[in-house]
Structure 1
Amino acid sequence: MKINRKLRIQLFMQNSIFVVLFLALVGLVGYLSYEFHGSRDITQSARNTLTEGSVNVLKQMKGPVSITVYASNDDTYRKGIVDFVTRYQRAKRDIQFKFVNPAENPKQAQEAGVRAEGEFVVEYKSKSEHLLPPIVEQDMTNLLVRLSREKSRNVMFLDGHGERRLNGLKNFDLGDFGKQLEKKGFKLSNPDLTLSPDVPANGAMLVIASPQVDIPEIEVNKIKKYIAEGGNLFWLIDQDSMHGLMPIAEQLGLQLTPGIVVDPMAAQYGGDYKMAFGVQYGDHPITQGFGLRTLFPMARQIDSNGQDRGWTVSHLVDVSATGWLETSPIEGTPKFDAKTDVGGPINIAVALERKIENKDQRVVVVGSGGFLANTFLGNGGNLDLGVNMINWLAGDDNLITIQPRPLKDVNITIPPGDKILAILIFFGFRLGLPIVLLITGVVIWLKRRKR
Structure 2
Amino acid sequence: MKLSAKSHLQLTVQKIIFLLLFSSSIGMLAWLTNHYNYQFDLTANQRHSLSSNSIALLNKLNKPVTVHAYTTDSVTKQAIQEIITRYQRIKSDFKLRLLNPDIDIEQIQKDGVVMNKPFAFVIYYNNRMELIDSLSEQAISNALLRLNRRDNQQVIFLRGHGEREINGTDNRAYTDLNKQLVDMGFNLQTINLLENTLPVTTKLLVIASPSNQYLAGEIEQVQNYINNGGNLLWLTDPGELYGLKKIATTLGLQLQGGVIVDNNIELRKTLGIEHPAIIPVTEYFPHIITNTIRYNTLFPMTRGISPLTTTQTVNNWQAEVLFNSSGKSWSEAGGLKEEMVFDSSAGDIAGPITVAVALHRARTNEGGNSQIAAGSQRVIVIGDSDFLSDTYIGAGANLNLGLNIFNWLIGDDDFISVEVKPAADTKLTLDNTQLAIIGFGFFLIIPLLLLIIGFRIWYLRKNR
TM-score (norm: length of structure 1)? 0.79
Residues 139 and 336 of structure 1, relative CA distance in 2, 3 Å threshold: farther
- Give 1:425 shift: 12
Q: Distance in 1 between matches of 2:258 and 2:279?
A: 13
Of 308, 318, 322, which aligns to 1:312?
A: 318
Q: Report if the CA contact (8 A) 2:279-2:299 is conserved.
A: yes
Q: SS in structure 2 opposite 1:249?
A: helix
Q: Report if the CA contact (8 A) 1:41-1:48 is conserved.
A: yes
Q: Could you say which residue in structure 1 is the equivalent of 2:424?
A: 408
Q: Report if the CA contact (8 A) 1:354-1:360 is conserved.
A: yes
Q: Could you say which residue in structure 2 is the equivalent of 1:348?
A: 355
Q: Could you say which residue in structure 2 is the equivalent of 1:191?
A: 191
Deviation larger for 336-345 or 394-403: 336-345
- Give 1:110 shift: 4.3
Question: CA offsets per residue over residues 75-118 of structure 1, 9 Å max, x none?
Answer: x3322222212222222221011211223334533442143223
- Give 1:424 shift: 11
Residues 320 and 43 of structure 1, relative CA distance in 2, 3 Å threshold: same
Q: How does 1:144-293 map to 2 (within 5 A)?
A: 144-196=144-196, 198-263=197-262, 264=264, 265-266=267-268, 268=270, 269-293=272-296
Residues 107 and 211 of structure 1, relative CA distance in 2, 3 Å threshold: same
Q: Distance in 1 between matches of 2:275 and 2:303?
A: 15
Amino acid of the structure 2 residue aligned with 1:172: R
Q: Could you say which residue in structure 1 is the equivalent of 2:300?
A: 297
Q: Could you say which residue in structure 2 is the equivalent of 1:336?
A: 342
Deviation larger for 391-400 or 116-125: 116-125
Q: Distance in 2 between matches of 1:334 and 1:56?
A: 46
Q: Distance in 2 between matches of 1:411 and 1:105?
A: 43
Q: Report if the CA contact (8 A) 2:239-2:258 is conserved.
A: no
> Which ranges of structure 2 fall in alignment gaps of 5 or more residues?
1-27, 365-373, 454-464
Residues 162 and 424 of structure 1, relative CA distance in 2, 3 Å threshold: same
Q: Distance in 2 between matches of 1:300 and 1:210?
A: 12
- Give 1:365 shift: 0.7
Question: CA offsets per residue over residues 123-159 of structure 1, 9 Å max, x none?
Answer: 00111111113x3322221111001101001001111
Q: Could you say which residue in structure 2 is the equivalent of 1:14?
A: none
Are positions 1:124 and 2:125 aligned together?
Answer: yes
Q: Distance in 1 between matches of 2:167 and 2:203?
A: 17
- Give 1:421 shift: 12
- Give 1:231 shift: 0.9
Question: CA offsets per residue over residues 213-258 of structure 1, 9 Å max, x none?
Answer: 1011110011111111111101001111410111111111112122
Q: Distance in 2 between matches of 1:422 and 1:99?
A: 48
Q: SS in structure 1 opposite 2:314?
A: helix
Q: SS in structure 2 opposite 1:128?
A: strand
- Give 1:199 shift: 2.9
Are positions 1:68 and 2:68 aligned together?
Answer: yes
Q: How does 1:381-400 map to 2 (within 5 A)?
A: 381-400=397-416
Q: Distance in 2 between matches of 1:42 and 1:132?
A: 29
Q: Report if the CA contact (8 A) 2:57-2:418 is conserved.
A: no
Q: Distance in 2 between matches of 1:163 and 1:108?
A: 47
Residues 65 and 424 of structure 1, relative CA distance in 2, 3 Å threshold: farther
Deviation larger for 156-165 or 101-110: 101-110
Deviation larger for 117-126 or 204-213: 117-126
Q: How does 1:53-64 map to 2 (within 5 A)?
A: 53-64=53-64
Question: Which of these two proteins has the greater Rg computed from alpha carbons?
Answer: 2
Q: Distance in 2 between matches of 1:224 and 1:176?
A: 29
Q: Distance in 2 between matches of 1:39 and 1:365?
A: 46
- Give 1:402 shift: 4.3
Residues 411 and 256 of structure 1, relative CA distance in 2, 3 Å threshold: closer
Q: SS in structure 1 opposite 2:288?
A: coil
Q: Report if the CA contact (8 A) 1:303-1:349 is conserved.
A: no
Q: Distance in 2 between matches of 1:288 and 1:414?
A: 36
Q: Distance in 1 between matches of 2:240 and 2:255?
A: 11
Question: CA offsets per residue over residues 338-383 of structure 1, 9 Å max, x none?
Answer: 6553333322001110112243211011110001111111111111
Residues 109 and 414 of structure 1, relative CA distance in 2, 3 Å threshold: farther
Q: Could you say which residue in structure 2 is the equivalent of 1:446?
A: none
Q: Report if the CA contact (8 A) 1:317-1:347 is conserved.
A: yes
Q: Report if the CA contact (8 A) 1:319-1:347 is conserved.
A: yes
CA-based RMSD: 3.3
Q: Distance in 1 between matches of 2:97 and 2:69?
A: 6
Q: SS in structure 1 opposite 2:160?
A: coil
Amino acid of the structure 2 residue aligned with 1:346: I
Question: CA offsets per residue over residues 245-273 of structure 1, 9 Å max, x none?
Answer: 11111111112122222223335514311
Deviation larger for 353-362 or 336-345: 336-345
Deviation larger for 299-308 or 93-102: 299-308
Q: SS in structure 2 opposite 1:190?
A: strand
Question: CA offsets per residue over residues 52-87 of structure 1, 9 Å max, x none?
Answer: 22122111111110012112241x332222221222
Q: Report if the CA contact (8 A) 1:137-1:404 is conserved.
A: no
- Give 1:422 shift: 12
Q: Could you say which residue in structure 1 is the equivalent of 2:141?
A: 141
Q: Distance in 1 between matches of 2:109 and 2:303?
A: 55
Q: Percent identity at matched positions? A: 35
Residues 199 and 54 of structure 1, relative CA distance in 2, 3 Å threshold: same
Q: Report if the CA contact (8 A) 1:54-1:404 is conserved.
A: no
> Which ranges of structure 1 fall in alignment gaps of 5 or more residues?
1-25, 440-451
Q: Could you say which residue in structure 2 is the equivalent of 1:91?
A: 90
Q: Distance in 1 between matches of 2:317 and 2:268?
A: 34
Are positions 1:370 and 2:386 aligned together?
Answer: yes
Q: Report if the CA contact (8 A) 2:155-2:202 is conserved.
A: yes
Deviation larger for 173-182 or 338-347: 338-347
Of 325, 331, 335, which aligns to 2:331?
A: 325
TM-score (norm: length of structure 2)? 0.77
Q: Could you say which residue in structure 1 is the equivalent of 2:41?
A: 41
Amino acid of the structure 2 residue aligned with 1:296: F
Residues 101 and 233 of structure 1, relative CA distance in 2, 3 Å threshold: same
Amino acid of the structure 1 residue aligned with 2:280: F
Q: Give the number of equivalent residue pairs.
A: 395
Q: Distance in 1 between matches of 2:422 and 2:101?
A: 30
